[in-house]
Structure 1
Amino acid sequence: MTVPLRRLRPSLARYGLTAAMALILVVLVAAPLATILIQTLQSGGGAWADVLASRLSQNLFWRPATNTMIIGLAVAGGCVLLGGFLAWLVVMTDVPGRPLIAFMATLPFMIPSFATALAWGSVFRNGRVGGAGGLLEGLGFSVPDWLSWGMVPTIVVLIAHYYALAFTVIAAALSTVNGDLVEAAQMTGASRKRILFGIVLPVVTPAVIAGGSLAFAGAVSNFAAPALLGLPVRMQTLSTRLFGMIEIGQTERGYVLAILLIAISAIFLGIGNRILNSRRSFATISGKGARPRRFTLGTMRLPLALLAWTVCILTTLLPILLLLAASLAPSSLSLFSDWTLHYWIGAADPAFARGQPGIFHHPQLISALTTTLMLGAGVVFAANALGLLIAVALTRQKVPVLSNAVSQLSFLPMLLPGIAFAAAYIALYGAPIGPLPALYGTKLLLGLALTAAMLPFAVQTGRATVAQISGDIDEAARMTGAGFFHRLWAITLPLAARGLAAGLLISFVNVIGDLAITVLLYTPTSPLLAVLSYSYASDGFHQFANAVTLVILVISMLATCAATLLRGRRRQTFA
């Protein structure tokens, strides 16, 4: 039986698009990960033995792994408690100022973790490990080492950074709790405590586990906070140890650490999924409509509101104000006196700041700013273009098995620690591949890695946007003879423009604030802003580091505000 060519073409087009996306994802995601595993096995597994079972293994893996686990579990627990508390206040109580508290509670994740770490150092740093002390030491307080450096400040900084994730997930789950359950319990005389722990908490268990898992994965892979607050006292985590191995040329050991770091993240995410799957049902939404029920806080209304506002201010406004003061003060011992603009616009002076000019007089800053903006724009456009094509393939042109593989591969970078992902790119593309030259130390390698890392955000944004466009419009255009790319350009892009632009801006914020990937892959002759800030801080030039970090924050906040405005207009358009 002969199949008509016009009936065969749609199938070929569908298969071709999905297959092309699968091939690109193999190149960007699967191949680098497979390469690091292969390279660690090529030498007979010697690198594995060195890391896991040698006299060096205690310092190479076991102690950093223990520190990583402690930080990950503590941050996950702290984020669930803090984010869950704020989510409960905003969604289920009559606390005043709920919308503004909800907005403030989502901002910390937009502030790079190294910014919060620098702000912590401006207040709590002591001079026992070299360099100047912080504000408290300048006021005459003796700040203990455990509060200045190491495990405790790293955990606090990471909780302040990641609790926004737990808040967002738990708040979304609490908003779906059927108010009839709460009302029925109140009618039987159940106390507020019994309702909270007996009804509300069990039904939002999936969100609690998801929020804790996201915070854990972020904490164990974070490089900036343990590097700035832990390395001065030789506290190593897997991410900082991995960076050290790559930096000194022990790449195979670094790749082993990358695989182990990925495995730890995967194991704990798998445990969370297993716990969720073991529960029979979390259903709280039925076919009947139900009004939300809010707890009346009574005399605790104002104290709890004050507590919520204190948390929000300490994790959003205060770090920014401290960074601003620390970028103007000659000494962090006295943050609010003798301010000077030298660290911003001053010319080089041998008698001041060891001859370092202000950041806007330093050619490296201008180069880093230009490179960051251009690379960020290029990465987000490439990632969102791929994300849109993948979204179209998954939403409109499904292919059995292959579509599922594309979906899984596009989401995989979300689960991978950034610094381990960067190590995988060095393993595959750091050396020549046939006629292709080595990309190590080039902007192209950095751009490819960041594009792959942004794909989960781009694909999810693309799928959500494409799903709102009726397939009948595309089918009608196809019937008139319009080709795939013509339909994409003339129909899909205009209708999805605002949603895609909002996703593009959010991806841009993530790119310019990324340190875990860029610290391994940046071009030495032209570092990015995040790497420049880290380099200044590592060399003891904290005022310059704070100033560069504020530049990043200003760019991030402008992009975030633009994304918020676009989303607001998009909601009005579809209302």
Structure 2
Amino acid sequence: MSTISLSERGRAFAASPGLVLKLVVLAIIGVLIAGPLLKILAETLRPETMQAWSDVLVGRLSRNLFWLPLTNTLALGFGVATGCVLIGGFLAWLVVMTDIPFRRTIGVMATLPFMIPSFATALAWGSLFRNSRVGGQVGFVEGLGFAVPDWLAWGMVPTLIVLIAHYYSLAFTVIAAALATVNSDLVEAAQLAGARRRRILSGIVLPVALPAIVAGASLTFAGAVSNFAAPALLGLPVRMQTLATRLFGMIEIGQTARGYVIAILLILVSAFFLWLGNRVISGRRSYATVTGKGGRSKRFALGPARLPLFSAALLICVLTTIVPVAILVASSLAPSSSALLSNWTLHYWTGLSSASVAQGQPGIWHNPAILTATGITVGLGASVALTGTMIGLLVAFALARYRGGFLSGLINQISFLPLLVPGIAFGAAYIALFGAPIGPFPALYGSFALLVLAATAYLVPFSAQTGRAVIQQVSGDLDESARLTGAGFLRRLGAITVPLAIRGLSAGALIIFVKIVRDLSLVVLLFTPTMPLLSVLAYRYASEGFTQFANAITVVVLVISIGATLLANRLQAKTQPWLKD
């Protein structure tokens, strides 16, 4: 009887709709995502590499290899999460729930800092506050004759400030969306009952927004602990190590086993706090904020505090959006960071090689390495946008059209796994898997193909989410009708789904393009002189003291990223509910 039952289950499984598609999708994401992560674990469990675990965790070097970097990493994570929730929550409250002037402007500006790469903000900070402790050029403030203390120029404090300035947009977006669901009737009823503003905030607004606050904190924490650029530019010169920079250092000097152990531990730290945040959120889902009644927009009157609060909000937005970009542009034109506003020159952009300037380095438009990196970076972005969109569409189609079952759950879990993996750890996993030949296949390290594969896999969660959104726009009845007439899967996808959802797919592809063009953490370990990328070149130039070149390259990255993002927003034509009247 049990045999018959098993046989019947097998036939039912084989006959389940979408089985072939699910198996194909599972094989693709298994190779792209699960394979590298399993390989990096296997590399540390071989007899000759098992020693790396004890070296990192309990050996005589463990304090410098792991425990001090872990302490710095957690300090950055908690500090950034706290700062982002405070700033993002403050701006979200002003934009959504008060009568602050120019709400739309503040709301738009508060979403922009995440478009600016963290290494761009770190470079701008260095151009302003760099002192002479590590040699080389000093920043603008010290150039004016003011002594910049070490704690402000290097280490934990500037890294915290830069990462908060970069990530608070995430907290703002999540919290603002939650505050937009607060029923104004509840607020008005509390006001009629005589409740004071502080009581309304603590008794109504905060409980509703708490899940979003926790989500914003966990997202910004994960971003901070996995960030490589800011700690590398502002911390490494004074030997402040985080897990991300220590991982990079181990791989760079050839101690790959120790590097892989640190990568696994970094993944566990990031995943644990994301899981903890999700657990807290899942326990707070009892607040119903959307009812069948129409909500009315009623905002707190700020009274005399209206203009001071607007000034504070505008100052935060200007300092984190306009000022960093302006500093980078000025620094790319100035002869040195200490003289940002005088003797501007176009040498770092269009100048020819001169022995008296920058050790003979020509401007970026005449620099073969930078021009090559520009072409490779744009080509990588376009390639990943194409491959990522295709794979995301397949994943979304398999999950949206053929719901339920064990395979669907497995596909869903694996496709969103990269969200738990810091970029630099994911890059290390790809080196572990593809850095050596696999059977008849040659090693891919240093090739364009490896960059495309790693970036495509790392961005599968974003591409799958975009694909799911556009799939839901197309009625399943159309696909079913075409299937009944004998149209195959690829035919239905190419003739129905893609044409009807082309604008959404294009917008999603542009977002993927932007993410990889400005990324440093993922590609910094995959960089080779034969396969240069703009973000890594900017980091290398900054590390070697060529500040103007680093800033000029970063401006190019910003122009490409912002242009593509604005085009994506135009295609999406999404409305932000918290900006509506």
The answer to whether the 8 A contact 1:349-1:355 is kept is yes
The answer to whether the 8 A contact 1:443-1:523 is kept is no
> Residue 512 of structure 1: which of 493, 514, 517 is its match?
517
- Could you give the per-residue CA deviations for residues 93-145 of structure 1, whole angstroms, max 9, x where no partner exists? 00011111111111111110000000001111111211111111011111000
The answer to whether the 8 A contact 2:389-2:463 is kept is yes
Q: Which residue of 1 aligns with 2:27?
A: 23
Q: 1:280 to 1:330 in 2, by over 3 A?
A: closer
- Could you give the per-residue CA deviations for residues 219-257 of structure 1, whole angstroms, max 9, x where no partner exists? 000000000000110100000000000011100100000
The answer to whether the 8 A contact 1:509-1:560 is kept is yes
The answer to whether the 8 A contact 2:446-2:530 is kept is no
Q: Distance in 2 between matches of 1:470 and 1:13?
A: 18
The answer to whether the 8 A contact 1:499-1:570 is kept is no
Amino acid at match of 1:269: L
The answer to whether the 8 A contact 1:146-1:152 is kept is yes
Q: Distance in 2 between matches of 1:251 and 1:494?
A: 46
Are 1:546 and 2:551 matched, yes or no?
A: yes
Q: Which residue of 1 aligns with 2:579?
A: none
Are 1:389 and 2:398 matched, yes or no?
A: no
Q: Distance in 1 between matches of 2:202 and 2:150?
A: 38
Amino acid at match of 2:555: L
- Could you give the per-residue CA deviations for residues 57-110 of structure 1, whole angstroms, max 9, x where no partner exists? 000000000000000000000000000000000000000111111111111111
The answer to whether the 8 A contact 1:209-1:272 is kept is yes
Any idea what SS the aligned residue of 1:41 has?
A: coil
Are 1:170 and 2:175 matched, yes or no?
A: yes
Q: 1:73 to 1:569 in 2, by over 3 A?
A: closer
Are 1:35 and 2:45 matched, yes or no?
A: no
> Residue 370 of structure 1: which of 368, 372, 375 is its match?
375
Q: Which residue of 2 aligns with 1:209?
A: 214
Are 1:446 and 2:451 matched, yes or no?
A: yes
Any idea what SS the aligned residue of 1:286 has?
A: coil
Q: Which residue of 2 aligns with 1:418?
A: 423
Amino acid at match of 1:337: S
Q: Distance in 2 between matches of 1:124 and 1:546?
A: 15
Q: 1:9 to 1:248 in 2, by over 3 A?
A: closer
Offset of residue 398 of structure 1: 2.5
> Residue 405 of structure 1: which of 403, 406, 410 is its match?
410
- Could you give the per-residue CA deviations for residues 524-549 of structure 1, whole angstroms, max 9, x where no partner exists? 22310101111110100000000000
Offset of residue 433 of structure 1: 1.4
Q: Which residue of 1 aligns with 2:301?
A: 296
> Residue 470 of structure 1: which of 471, 475, 480 is its match?
475
- Could you give the per-residue CA deviations for residues 9-42 of structure 1, whole angstroms, max 9, x where no partner exists? 9946610001111111110111111111111111
Q: Distance in 2 between matches of 1:32 and 1:316?
A: 36
> Residue 521 of structure 1: which of 526, 549, 552 is its match?
526
Q: Distance in 1 between matches of 2:14 and 2:99?
A: 55
Offset of residue 351 of structure 1: 1.1
Q: Distance in 2 between matches of 1:72 and 1:568?
A: 34
Q: Which residue of 2 aligns with 1:231?
A: 236
Amino acid at match of 1:35: K
Q: Distance in 2 between matches of 1:57 and 1:437?
A: 35
Offset of residue 293 of structure 1: 2.3
Q: 1:56 to 1:482 in 2, by over 3 A?
A: same
The answer to whether the 8 A contact 1:391-1:463 is kept is yes
Matches within 5 A, 1:98-113: 98-113=103-118
Give the CA RMSD over aligned residues. Answer: 1.7
Bigger shift: residues 11-20 or 108-117: 11-20
Gaps in structure 2 of 5+ consecutive residues: 5-10, 577-581
The answer to whether the 8 A contact 2:215-2:281 is kept is no
Q: Distance in 2 between matches of 1:9 and 1:516?
A: 41
Q: Distance in 2 between matches of 1:87 and 1:403?
A: 36
Q: TM-score, normalised by structure 1?
A: 0.96
Q: Which residue of 1 aligns with 2:496?
A: 491
Amino acid at match of 1:97: F
Q: How many residues align?
A: 566
Amino acid at match of 2:446: G
Offset of residue 280 of structure 1: 6.2
The answer to whether the 8 A contact 1:477-1:487 is kept is yes
Are 1:316 and 2:321 matched, yes or no?
A: yes
Amino acid at match of 1:535: R
The answer to whether the 8 A contact 1:380-1:454 is kept is no
Bigger shift: residues 409-418 or 236-245: 409-418
Q: Distance in 1 between matches of 2:125 and 2:70?
A: 24
- Could you give the per-residue CA deviations for residues 173-215 of structure 1, whole angstroms, max 9, x where no partner exists? 0000111221111111111111112210111111000001000
Gaps in structure 1 of 5+ consecutive residues: 2-6
Matches within 5 A, 1:225-264: 225-264=230-269
Q: Distance in 2 between matches of 1:398 and 1:282?
A: 28
Are 1:188 and 2:193 matched, yes or no?
A: yes
Q: Which residue of 2 aligns with 1:54?
A: 59
Q: Distance in 1 between matches of 2:362 and 2:455?
A: 31
Q: Distance in 1 between matches of 2:451 and 2:21?
A: 26
Offset of residue 279 of structure 1: 3.5
Q: Distance in 1 between matches of 2:206 and 2:325?
A: 34
The answer to whether the 8 A contact 1:122-1:332 is kept is yes
Amino acid at match of 2:37: L
Offset of residue 432 of structure 1: 1.5
Are 1:279 and 2:280 matched, yes or no?
A: no
The answer to whether the 8 A contact 2:448-2:531 is kept is no
Offset of residue 480 of structure 1: 1.8
Bigger shift: residues 542-551 or 403-412: 403-412
Any idea what SS the aligned residue of 1:333 has?
A: helix
Amino acid at match of 2:566: C
Are 1:357 and 2:358 matched, yes or no?
A: no
Amino acid at match of 2:121: T
> Residue 128 of structure 1: which of 101, 120, 133 is its match?
133
The answer to whether the 8 A contact 2:447-2:531 is kept is no
Q: Distance in 1 between matches of 2:285 and 2:165?
A: 34
Offset of residue 414 of structure 1: 1.6
